[in-house]
Structure 1
Amino acid sequence: MRRLTSVDVCSGAGGLALGLERAGFDPVLLLDNNPVACETLRKNRPHWNVAEMDLLEFDPIENPDPYDPDAFEVDLLSAGLPRVKSSATTKRVETGLELHLLKATVLLAAHVVQPNALLIENVPGLVTAPEFEEVRDLIQRELVHLDYKFHWFVINAADFGVPQDRKQGVLVALKSRFFDRFHPPAPTVTRHITAGEALLPSISARGWVGAAEWAAQANRVPPTLVGGSDNRGGADLGLTGSKKIWAQMGINGGALSDEVPDPDGIQESDTSGSPLKKLTVEQTAILQSFPNDWTFAGKKTRQARQIGHASPPPVGEALGQAIAEALRG
């Protein structure tokens, strides 16, 4: 079965691209403006063509070098875009950088790449919320005259084996001849994975005698990990409401640790005095379902932000498989 090709924009740490690779897509170009994220991509896939550039400044027609024009004859354009702000004020929705990136992706698809399929993953509200109706209309206006048809739907990463309640809004646009062949991916698991189940092997790695008891009470699916803003503080697990949920599972969501507990349950880098355990960067990657050998460039905070912003690879794989089946017929 032939491999398919893709261009991936706003690639981040590579979660979506990795999932698509597993589903049969080989990227001819990955684009991101974050130098640390680009370093992560190159560390893990040295053969990938990674371009460190802002999507809003990217014009392969006027500036083709070092890009191969033939590279844009691809099956899929994919984008795990920064989250469009969910706000009651239309003005904020219309002027946010995230929305500009969304529009730039659509324009890239419509005027340059024109792939057989377009995949955009973002907030659930992009699919259903009234304040994003104009955005949805804009996308369809740009693409419908090029013979694209659209599937809008929401999926939850937990349904695909990711130990996290992470709802994602998805747009899959396909050329009309492929449209009827596409079906949104069905869940791959019948039971969601709890925090305790996912983290027990790692949190007991130094022999903590209370690890099994801790895992037994961490018996719920964790809330959505967030990457946070590059302009805000250090690494943590989210806003106040999410931190309360983490605390109910015995996890201190206010910061990350440098190590898992020792046999006595002590984390040397944790000076908070709290009985709650802090997660490590590696454990947040487990909650995003990255493989153990996927490494992240940068220091702890930059690593945590890359992980929190990423699309979980199993979601990308499921979406990629559904798109590949439609394209291959």
Structure 2
Amino acid sequence: MTGLRFVDVCAGAGGLALGLERAGFDPVLLLDNKPVACETLHMNRPQWDVREMDLLDFVPDEHPQTYDVDLLSAGLPRVKSSATAARAETEEEERLLQATVLLAYSIQPRAMIIENVPGLVDAEAFEPLRDFVRKELEHLGYRLHWFVLNAADFGVPQDRKQGVLVALKERYSDRFRPPVRTVMERVSVGRALRHSMAARGWSGADAWAARAITVAPTLVGGSDNRGGADLGPTGTKAAWARMGVNGGALADEVPGPELDSCPDMIKLTDAQAALLQGFPPDWLFAGRKTARYRQIGHASPPPVGNALGAAVAEALRDDRTRDSVGPRVS
């Protein structure tokens, strides 16, 4: 036990929390407003304190275990630029980001991690939001580090760029260094999924894997108000097609011998999508197929959370813990 404690809001399926756990952090509370996400967290970590609650209704005074934690983390719903979406469509995501920042007043963590769209880091459209964050957190003595990470640089077989804010109390800020890539060669879809494609005896698994030689396009969970699960918009589906994947729907199981003589493209399962997000094979997802896929598509890849957690832990730890904190190898 390192003694590093964190609160995770908008926890979703637990991707960021799992990564932070691997980096040596122990959660004191996880918060999400979706019952199916909370069920997923309970299934995988029954010992975690998971609360089904809207972030906007969360009052830290009613949860004193959240006070003075080392880290407040949030993989928030993606904010939208008012230039590309109606104002009403941008308000909820902005309110959640603002509410997370304002939690710093009562929780007073030594560090914060907020993960969102890459544009939040430097796009002109998001300057008002960055200005809000800057004023509120600098007033409390935090120093801000904005940067963009690509999950593919951390062994995740997916081209997934994430905008990240790490804010640390001033005494720790100079020690912080953003994570550096952990793999020199990116993991292809074929390499990541070849074993699962062959699990039911499909003879075409090796040939398919040899064709799927790039990382996956960004997985998109989609809106709860949309129809069934698919792998993304038209351009994304075209990229999948070049790898021999039908991105228009998900399969209920991996290919079997019935496809040995079939030249058509195969479909991925939601479990394979989870592998492409960097989840371990034993991480379970609650709900029906579409609900499972949406949780997966919205998640923050655990290997990125691990790298972020290790970088924050390095900045926070003192001489007594200097040799005991670091990323856990799964």
Say whether residues 1:207 and 2:196 are aligned partners: no
Superposition pairs of residues 275-294 of structure 1, within 5 angstroms: 275-294=264-283
Q: Which amino acid aligns with 1:222?
A: A
| Gapped regions of structure 1 (runs ≥ 5) | 268-272
C-alpha deviation, 1:72, in angstroms: 1.8
Structure-2 separation of matches of 1:236 and 1:324: 37
- Cα deviation 1:259-307 (Å, max 9, x = unaligned): 111124279xxxxx98111000110011011111110000100000000
The letter of the residue matching 1:78 is S
- Are the counterparts in 2 of residues 13 and 41 from structure 1 also a CA contact under 8 Å? yes
- Distance in 2 of aligned mates of 1:39 and 1:141: 36
Equivalent residues of 2:80, 2:90 under 8 A apart: no
Q: Which amino acid aligns with 2:28?
A: V
What is the distance in 2 between the residues matched to 1:182 and 1:249? 39
Which residue number in structure 1 is paired with residue 120 of structure 2? 126
Shift of 1:327: 0.2
| d(CA) in 1 for partners of 2:259, 2:16 | 35
Aligned equivalents of 2:36, 2:85: Cα separation in 1: 33
> Residue 306 of structure 2: which of 314, 317, 328 is its match?
317
The code of the aligned residue for 2:242 comes to: Q
Q: Which consecutive unaligned segments of at least 5 residues does structure 2 have?
A: 319-330
Q: What is residue 51 of structure 1 aligned with on the other side?
A: 51
Q: CA deviation at 1:113?
A: 0.7
The yes-or-no answer on 1:75 pairing with 2:70 is yes
SS at match of 1:120: strand
CA contact (8 A) 1:32 1:54 kept: yes
- Residues 200 and 10 of structure 1: CA distance in aligned 2, closer, same or farther (over 3 Å): same
* 3-state secondary structure, aligned to 2:26: strand
The answer to whether the Cα contact below 8 Å between 1:86 and 1:93 also exists between their aligned partners in 2 is no
* 1:257 matched residue in structure 2: 251
Counterpart of 1:217 in structure 2 is 211
* Deviation (angstroms), 1:58: 1.1
CA distance in 2, matches of 1:131, 1:274: 46
Deviation at 1:148, TM superposition (A): 0.4
Residues 149 and 90 (structure 1), Cα distance of their counterparts in 2 relative to 1, 3 Å cut: farther
* Equivalent of residue 146 in structure 2, options 123, 141, 152: 152
The corresponding residue for 2:224 is: 230
Aligned to 2:323: none
Residue 117 (structure 1) aligned with residue 111 (structure 2): yes
Q: Please name the residue that 1:270 is paired with.
A: none
User: One-letter code of the match for 2:239?
Assistant: I
Structure 1 residues 228-253: Cα deviation after superposition (integer angstroms, max 9, x where no partner):
00000001101111011011110011
Q: Provide closer, same or farther for how the CA distance between residues 184 and 274 of structure 1 changes in structure 2, counting only shifts above 3 A.
A: same
- What is the CA–CA distance in structure 2 between the aligned matches of 1:304 and 1:40, rounded to whole Å? 12
Task: Give the number of equivalent residue pairs.
Answer: 318
Residue 8 of structure 2 contacts residue 31 of structure 2 at CA under 8 Å; is this kept in 1?
yes
- TM-score, normalised relative to structure 2: 0.93
Q: Which amino acid aligns with 1:19?
A: G
* Equivalent residue number for residue 179 of structure 1: 173
Does structure 2 retain, via aligned residues, the 8 Å contact 1:90–1:131?
no
Distance change >3 Å, CA 266–CA 73, structure 1 → 2? farther
Moved more, 248-257 or 89-98: 89-98
Cα deviation code 1:1-59 (max 9, x no counterpart): 72300000000000000000000110100000000000000110011000000001111
Q: In the superposition, relative to structure 1, how do residues 202 and 74 fare at CA in structure 2: closer, same or farther (>3 Å)?
A: same
Which residue is equivalent to 2:158? Answer: 164
State how far apart, in whole Å, the 2-side matches of 1:134 and 1:221 are. Answer: 34
Q: Distance in 2 between matches of 1:320 and 1:19?
A: 7
Which aligned runs of 4 or more in structure 1 are off by greater than 6 angstroms?
Answer: none
Structure 2 counterpart of 1:303? 292
Alpha-carbon offset, residue 100 of structure 1? 0.9
How far off is 1:220 after superposition?
0.9
- Equivalent residue for 2:31? 31
Aligned-CA RMSD value: 1.7
